Structure formats: structure tokens, C-alpha cells
Amino acid sequence: MRSWNSSIIDSYQIQESFLESDDSVTHGSIKALSLNEFLQALAMALAARNIETWEHSVLVTKYAVMLGLRLGLSEEEIKQLRMGALLHDIGKIGIRDDILLKPCRLTEDEYDRIKNHPEIGARILEPAKALHSIIPIALHHHEHFNGKGYPQGLRGEKIPLSARIVSLADAFEAMTSGRLYRRAMSLQKTLEEIQLESGRQFDPYLGHAFVEMMEENIR
């Protein structure tokens, strides 16, 4: 596991990640600047806690924005999607180190505890009114299209679109990245898994669009 010093938690990279993010207040105003600084502070806190979680979030954001653009989301929707994807796992700040940083598979009890991170994330974002639009991403990115996800067991289109997008990007990044306790899946196997889970874990329309997008990118 990388330490604070070895990873250097590049504040420049974090700043770059938020350059294209914005909020509903006037661009260039003191309020907008303060919000951007607050977002960067949250990102730095997440990176300081676990650099792998931050690196995961950066990749999730890349895939989520790619899909959002393919779906024709508006500029404002893309901005909100980018911010929400970058901070979708912010609630992991509230998970104990012995669980969050465990180098092997979690026990059932530990997994139940880590499943609290969406609600913790929503509570972290709640005080900032300008961030209310991204709370649904933090709260619902582990909901499943068939209603068997968490924390609220939402089903189908009751799950916010942005959360359904991030859910796909999150799963794709997790499957294609190795962990200490498992190897990364191949791209083809991952896309087959997404197709298999479309209509169950994933929105079937979004799952098809995501697979099609990734296949086009590797041609």
C-alpha cells in the first residue's frame, strides 16, 4: 500500500480534476472559488486516507463522463456527474482502517460495515447546499437495477440516472483493476459480465451503451 510520502498525493492532480467542475453559483465568484476549494479539500482527505480509493475515483470519473457524453447529457449534467463521480466514495473516510485497508477478503460482518459508506458520504456532503445535486450519486451508486442493491433497495429508474451511470463505471473499474486478493479481469471478460448483469445489477440500456462504447474504443 502506498504511503502519503511515496504517493505524494499530488495536489496538482486533484486540482486538475476539479478544473472543469463548477457549481450553480456564478463562475469566478468568491462563492464558486470557496466551493471548489472545499471539493479539493474533500478529495485530499480521501487521498490521504487511501490513495487507491482516490485513484479508483479518478478512473470511475473518466468512464462515467465518457458514458454521459455518449448519452448526450447537458454541460451542466456532465459537470455534476464529474463532481459526483470524483466523490462517490467519500464516505469511505468514515470506515475503520482495519476494514478499509484490509489486504484480503472482508468477512460478512466487515462487508456489512463497509456498506455504510454511501450513507456516510451523503451525510458528509449534506451541509454544503451547493453539493446537494451530487448526493444522489454518493448515496445510490450501489443500488441495483433489480432492487437488490443498497442502501435503500431502489429499483429501475427510481435510481437517479447519474447514480446508474457511476454504478456502471464503478463496477467496470473495480473488475479491470487488480486487488491484493484477486486478479484483474480482462476487458473482454468484464464487458461480458456487464452484459450478463444488465437488467439485474445495471440499467440494461446503459449497460448496452457502455459495452458498445468500450468496444468501439478498442477497435
The CATH homologous superfamily of the domain defined by 56-217: Hypothetical protein af1432 (1.10.3210.10)
- How does 160-176 read in b/e, with b if 16+ C-beta sit within 10 Å? bbbbbbbbbbbbbbbbb
pTM value? Answer: 0.84
Q: What is the reported pLDDT for 218?
A: 76
Q: What is the CA radius of gyration of the chain?
A: 17
Which of residues 140 and 218 earns the better pLDDT score?
A: 140
Q: For 79-84, what is the mean pLDDT?
A: 94
Residue 117 · residue 91 · CB < 8 Å:
yes
Structural domain boundaries in the chain: 56-217
What does the pLDDT look like over 166-210, one tens digit per residue?
999 999 999 998 766 678 899 999 999 999 999 999 999 999 999
| CA–centroid distance for 120 within its chain | 14
Task: Quote the Cα angle for 130-134-140, to 5°.
Answer: 150
Percent of the chain exceeding pLDDT 90 equals 64
